[in-house]
Amino acid sequence: MGETLLAISQLNKKFDTTGGSVQALYNVDLHVKEGEFITIIGPSGCGKSTLLRIVAGLDRGYTGSVTLNGNEIKGPGIDKGFIFQEHRLFPWLTVEKNIASDLPLGKPEVRRKVNELIELVKLQGFEQAYPRELSGGMAQRVAIARALLRSPQILLLDEPFGALDAFTRAHMQSVLLDIWRTNKTTMIFVTHDIDEAVFLGERVVILEPRPGQIRKIVPIDLPYPRKKASNSFQEVRLKVLSEFEKLEEFELKDGAGV
């Protein structure tokens, strides 16, 4: 794994509202290598979604620099895929049409790519199903396939499994790791679940709020596939958790609450 794909330097983002101004991100520095799997974790309101939206090109009102392959991010585009907590599929389209989005399925290369993606997210047999006929996990797999259609350089996932039950969530984590192994797509995955962050990420970026900033970046030197019940996993998990306990003490002293 080599080159820096995403370079975030001295990123600052402020929201000015009638109630005053919020420093959503403060001096954020993060370099992500091509093919890397980064997880971002932190309490609600610490700027996770704001950071992801800026990388996606959905929000441009910031200072500092955010580059993909050395080019400043100017707006959304096919080089960046985005997955939200809700699947946002079109209810009136079948699975395969949702994946193809605006590309014509009649074209052989589109058809080939869609079939490939259906296999990748393990939805064979559901090509003609409608979103209402799918479980939450299946619908989210369709959303992932759709985001991969144009082979983005980076996949940005904002708490994508947050609404799923624990079993489905664990299954989806494995499916995502399979996709990553097969496609080598660079991943930035936001979660507020410590287990999920440690299970998936090669590095876990811990954010803290007010102002939203990086508290620590923890490399996870455990080989894949990881075993959540193993001692080594629990050790790393506790290390990450201890950062939050420190954070809570700070919050209590601060009188702000979480």
Write out the residues near Mg ion by the rule CB under 5 A: 48-49
CA distance 177 to 182: 9
Q: Which one-letter DSSP state was computed for residue 14?
A: E
Q: Does 47 bind ligand ADP (CB under 6 A)?
A: yes
Of 44-52, 62-70, 161-169, 179-187: span binding ligand ADP (CB under 6 A)? 44-52
Residue with tokens 């939206």: 53
Task: Closer to ligand ADP by CB, 89 or 207: give it.
Answer: 207
DSSP helix/strand/coil, 233: helix
CA distance 146 to 135: 17
Q: How many CA atoms lie within 13 A of 90 on its CB side?
A: 12
Q: Which does 38 bind (CB under 5 to 8 A by kind): ligand ADP, Mg ion, none?
A: none
Site for ligand ADP in 48-77 (CB under 6 A): 48-50
- Which of 4, 12, 14, 15 forms a contact with ligand ADP (CB under 6 A)? 15
Task: Closer to Mg ion by CB, 42 or 137: give it.
Answer: 42
Residues in the chain: 258
Adjacency order of strands within the sheet including 213-219: 80-83, 154-158, 186-191, 37-41, 203-208, 213-219
Q: Does 188 bind ligand ADP (CB under 6 A)?
A: no
Phi-psi label, residue 27: left if phi above 0, alpha if psi -120 to 50, beta otherwise: left
Q: Does 17 bind ligand ADP (CB under 6 A)?
A: yes
Task: Closer to ligand ADP by CB, 47 or 137: give it.
Answer: 47
Q: Which does 47 bind (CB under 5 to 8 A by kind): ligand ADP, Mg ion, none?
A: ligand ADP
Question: Interface with ligand ADP by CB under 6 A: which residues?
Answer: 15, 17, 22, 24, 42, 44-50, 212
